[in-house]
Structure 1
Amino acid sequence: MAGRHWVAEETALWASDSVVGPLAGQLAHHPVTNRDLDRSLECLEELASLRAWVDAQEAKLLARISELTVASFTGQGYARPVAEERGESLTAAEVGTVLRVPEGSAGKLVEQAKLLVNFFPATVEALQLGRISRRHAVTVAQECCGVPEHEVPGFEEQLLEIARTTTVPKLGHRARRLRERLHPEALGVRREKKARERCVMVEPDRDGMAWLSAYLPAEAAYGIAHRLDTTARTLQRPDEDRTLGQLRADVFADLLTHTCATDPTVTADGTAGRTDRLSEGYRGIRARVFVTVPVMTLLGGDQPAELDGYGPIDGETARRLAGHAPSFTRLLTHPETGVVLSVGRTRYRPPKDLQDWVRVRDRTCRHPGCNRLAAGCEIDHTIPWHQGGHTRADNLAALCKRHHMFKSEGLWHYTQSTEGTIQATSFAGRIYTTEPEADPAQAQAPPPF
């Protein structure tokens, strides 16, 4: 451990402003020596080794936490399969809150840690010694899965040799080729199993943008990419100012948001032409989400609006969604106080306005770290109805089905000292406080009922 501390301190000193700052200012007058550059690279290499060591210790801890959680259920008389299922869910919840990562990401970390620690000690050792990175280690372990048991040690050794000298993508590519020679199950059968996991994910980004990704069978993914590329290239003309990347993105958006069945590359008169620009192609959107629009923005102002699950969007986009997408629920707020003036009409049952108010206030599930949109959550009484709890804003919160189940079964406990402020007590007894994500003025305004 002492050696590890020395590496950290030495690297921090070498990379500090006291060294880098003056050096940067003197470059024009004092040429950098090979020793300066070499020492910086040595520190970078040592830092990568230290990071790998930390990742190895984290993997061991995560595996142990999971085993301890499962053991707490087996000790209560649960059968091992049931104990493991519950233990995995609660481990992800505990780890997610400690590391401040989404529960799904925490579960993935725990799953990878257990795989490494329980089945691939040689890979964990290589990681601990800093010979490979965590991403390399996970790739080695995952590629070994499914290989005949007696072949695994030799296959793992081959992959570790490759991992020490190459990047993760190249390691994966070579591993897949080697794996096909050893895997006892036909590729078609494995593909059919993995295809059951297909999904689409959306991730918000800055400045009004977001990432949309899909996990699909390879032929479908590459087929889609080929169609987007081919269509985009047909739109490249001397008068076209969009790049090929922008054209691909616009074709992708047009194909998924247009309600018409016509070819998006053909104009109304039947001639080939440019697709609608991305800003003009929203008329096909059919999503049930909230768009919170300040009154003055609706009238032409530039104050940002709020798109449920994402955050601030520009006024022009908000006006377009509020005016032309009937499935969007428009929420109007006072331009100064933020008090909700109208929540429109939705499908939620009585007291309808109160449920809408809670969803707008909470934005997401109120379990610590959960990002599931409140629109898809259940409105739960913090103090249960059968225990005397009231149906009012300061006793209601959005909880997704998973975390509602945690509460109902007594695995997690929640209290609400003031409206919107939730204190959650975990299975391990840790306490986490979460605040609503809505604007303070909005959160303090009385419910619209």
Structure 2
Amino acid sequence: MESIPKSSGEHPGGETPHRDVAAPSGDVLEDVLSRLAAVEASTTARAVLAQVLTATLLAFTRTSSVRDPLPDTAPGSAEEALAAMAGVDHLRASLAAVDATWQVAAEQRIRRDDAAQGMSAEEQGRGAGQEIALARRISPAASSFSQAKARRLVQHMPGTVDRLWSGAVTDQQASAVAGALDGAGDETCRRIDDEIREHPEMLHGKGHRRLQAEIRAMVQRLEPETSRERAERAARSRHIRMTPLGDGMARVTATLRALDAVAMMNSLHSRAESQRAAGAKTSLSALEADLLVEDVQHGAQGGENADLSPRPRLRPGLDIGIIITDTALLGRDDEAETAQLEGYGTIPAHIVRDTVGGRPPGHLRHDEGEHPDEEVAAFYRRLFTAPRTGDLIAMESRARAFPAGLARMLRWRDSTCRTPWCNAQIRHSDHALPYHRGGPTSFANGQGLCARCNLLKEHGLWVLTPVSRTGSGDDSGPGDDPPAGAAPPAAWIWNSPHGAMGISPTPPLITPWPTPPVAVEEEPRDEEPQDSAGPASSPPP
């Protein structure tokens, strides 16, 4: 759609606008409304636009979190700025209600199409989550959680959806309520919905943590007979995850039984305080982190007799995949160089150099020559890459399954699942162009996917189209066998069975500087937006 114009080149607050747009003639609202009135689309599509416009009007004229709504404030005043922000927050809540409704509608329509194609009841709608994630530009995992909450709100909590639409409930509060009701019965959801509908003041001023605690307490009172079952189900979902951070750091989160988590934190805290009292200069939180790492690595090495043996920082035989150029590892001290750490991603090369040389970052030395890593017994696997492009020499296999070495190269290169917007850990090696359609088992045609995305990629007609390095499209179409030894395409364009689209650029093993952009030619668009999908078969439920 065309950009919405602003009344002048200046931002209302006096700062630089997000983007410069030429000012139209006449009133800006009248100009926008005239453009919307001229949109040629189906009745359902026009109803969606009207719904969004209505939400916008209500958000800025009936804003509940400020004394005066935006039209009643003085131009250039602080009140105007606060009213604008409050209106945006109100609008965000209203759009969340619209979004939840359409998530449920999309899932039901995809399920209906699957039924029309003769799929079994178990398979119907199985791929809806992947398509919805692609259309919403979020990861499939995040989309799955969002769909579950949307389903719960739309199907069992209409009062909360109404409050969300009116702005009385924030988007974060609605998400917190729906999340706290995970595992609760339909009748419990309806009873809590009635409470929110009749007593909206119960939500006033409450953050999501406090609100979730209160909702869980209500579930406990309403469903005491299922308490043990819910606790068992929740305990079975315990897990740990790692999230890469900047500057060679990572965040490890663990979902544990509450008693275990509290006991662990109390133990780490008391032991760290003892070290501080003994003269340690490291911060309390850093000591707690070090103690956790030492406990895990020491326990993994020594088992029951772990306390009787010394504590090396790394377990003997630990295999760490590091991809680094020879110049970064052995050459000049260039702080701009980077490496790739398997299971993590990009890491400054100097961290690898210092660790190999016995100088890990962040260690406070008390005496000259003292170093905690007296025993570093890791095997570092290293691959040399082209410094300019970061590409690795292509590998081919005649087998359908990816050999171990080639599969590991794909994991090193892709780092996380290659499905657009997915951040999950790689579990499977996949043929971008399917093997049964002639796709080779090669570095160019291979990609790392999580288990979920790999299984659902074959559910329905997903089409992956390669984009050449020049950005003009690849000469080979889906199913064509790329030439042996060909470099991976610059990107793969994913198209879902029902028209959602996303782009997955092929990452280099070593990120070059500057990063070359992936150019993708877009189809020409008419000046006025058109509904290319045609009339919708039915409005959302």
TM-score range, shorter chain: 0.7 to 0.9
Is residue 2:463 matched to residue 1:413? yes
The answer to whether the 8 A contact 2:402-2:441 is kept is no
Aligned residue number for residue 29 of structure 1: none
Mean alpha-carbon deviation: is it higher for 178-187 or for 352-361?
352-361
- 2:383 counterpart SS class: strand
Is residue 2:152 matched to residue 1:111? no
CA distance in 1, matches of 2:377, 2:496: 41
Aligned residue number for residue 249 of structure 1: 289
Aligned residue number for residue 362 of structure 1: 414
Is residue 2:345 matched to residue 1:311? yes
CA distance in 2, matches of 1:401, 1:172: 31
CA distance in 1, matches of 2:89, 2:401: 55
Map Cα deviations across residues 258-302 of structure 1 (whole Å, 9 max, x no partner): 355499xx9999xxxxxx9xxxx7413876553112213322644
The answer to whether the 8 A contact 1:415-1:423 is kept is yes
Give the 3 Å change call, closer, same or farther, for CA 212–352 of structure 1 in structure 2.
closer
The one-letter code sitting in structure 2 at the alignment partner of 1:305 is A
Is residue 2:444 matched to residue 1:394? yes
What is the RMSD computed on CA atoms of the aligned residues?
Answer: 4.0
CA distance in 1, matches of 2:276, 2:157: 51
Residue 55 of structure 1: how far off its partner (Å): 1.4
Map Cα deviations across residues 132-153 of structure 1 (whole Å, 9 max, x no partner): 2112112333445337557445
Give the 3 Å change call, closer, same or farther, for CA 118–260 of structure 1 in structure 2.
same
The answer to whether the 8 A contact 1:412-1:427 is kept is yes
Is residue 2:277 matched to residue 1:240? no
- 1:366 counterpart SS class: coil
- 2:323 counterpart SS class: strand
Aligned residue number for residue 476 of structure 2: none
Give the 3 Å change call, closer, same or farther, for CA 234–342 of structure 1 in structure 2.
farther
Q: Out of 228, 231, 250, which is 2:268 matched to?
A: 228
Map Cα deviations across residues 407-426 of structure 1 (whole Å, 9 max, x no partner): 44543122435423323221
Q: Which runs of 5+ in 2 are unaligned?
A: 18-73, 358-375, 469-487, 517-541
CA distance in 1, matches of 2:404, 2:219: 56
Residue 403 of structure 1: how far off its partner (Å): 3.3
Is residue 2:102 matched to residue 1:52? no
Identity %: 24
Aligned residue number for residue 332 of structure 1: 384
Report how many aligned residue pairs link the two structures. 401
The one-letter code sitting in structure 2 at the alignment partner of 1:215 is T
CA distance in 2, matches of 1:335, 1:395: 23
CA distance in 1, matches of 2:450, 2:309: 45
The one-letter code sitting in structure 1 at the alignment partner of 2:329 is L
The answer to whether the 8 A contact 1:333-1:342 is kept is no
Residue 130 of structure 1: how far off its partner (Å): 0.9
Aligned residue number for residue 294 of structure 1: 325
Aligned residue number for residue 272 of structure 1: none
Map Cα deviations across residues 305-333 of structure 1 (whole Å, 9 max, x no partner): 11134332233532477794546533233
Aligned residue number for residue 174 of structure 1: 214
Q: Out of 84, 97, 122, which is 1:43 matched to?
A: 84
The answer to whether the 8 A contact 1:290-1:330 is kept is yes
Is residue 2:123 matched to residue 1:122? no
Map Cα deviations across residues 302-361 of structure 1 (whole Å, 9 max, x no partner): 432111343322335324777945465332335567465999xxxx98765544444444
Residue 167 of structure 1: how far off its partner (Å): 1.9
Q: Which runs of 5+ in 1 are unaligned?
A: 20-32, 270-275, 445-449
The answer to whether the 8 A contact 1:291-1:329 is kept is yes
Aligned residue number for residue 315 of structure 2: 284
Aligned residue number for residue 214 of structure 1: 254
- 1:71 counterpart SS class: helix
The answer to whether the 8 A contact 2:133-2:143 is kept is yes
CA distance in 1, matches of 2:377, 2:326: 18
Residue 170 of structure 1: how far off its partner (Å): 1.9
- 2:448 counterpart SS class: strand
Aligned residue number for residue 17 of structure 1: 15
Residue 176 of structure 1: how far off its partner (Å): 2.9
CA distance in 2, matches of 1:18, 1:388: 53
Normalising to structure 1: TM-score of the pair? 0.75
Map Cα deviations across residues 205-236 of structure 1 (whole Å, 9 max, x no partner): 22222221111221122122112112211111
Mean alpha-carbon deviation: is it higher for 203-212 or for 287-296?
287-296
CA distance in 2, matches of 1:217, 1:158: 35
The answer to whether the 8 A contact 1:413-1:426 is kept is yes
Give the 3 Å change call, closer, same or farther, for CA 95–250 of structure 1 in structure 2.
same
CA distance in 2, matches of 1:141, 1:242: 41
CA distance in 2, matches of 1:321, 1:158: 61
The answer to whether the 8 A contact 1:395-1:416 is kept is no
Q: Out of 172, 175, 178, which is 1:138 matched to?
A: 175
Aligned residue number for residue 69 of structure 2: none
Residue 405 of structure 1: how far off its partner (Å): 3.1
The answer to whether the 8 A contact 1:163-1:171 is kept is yes
Higher helix share: 1
CA distance in 1, matches of 2:167, 2:101: 15
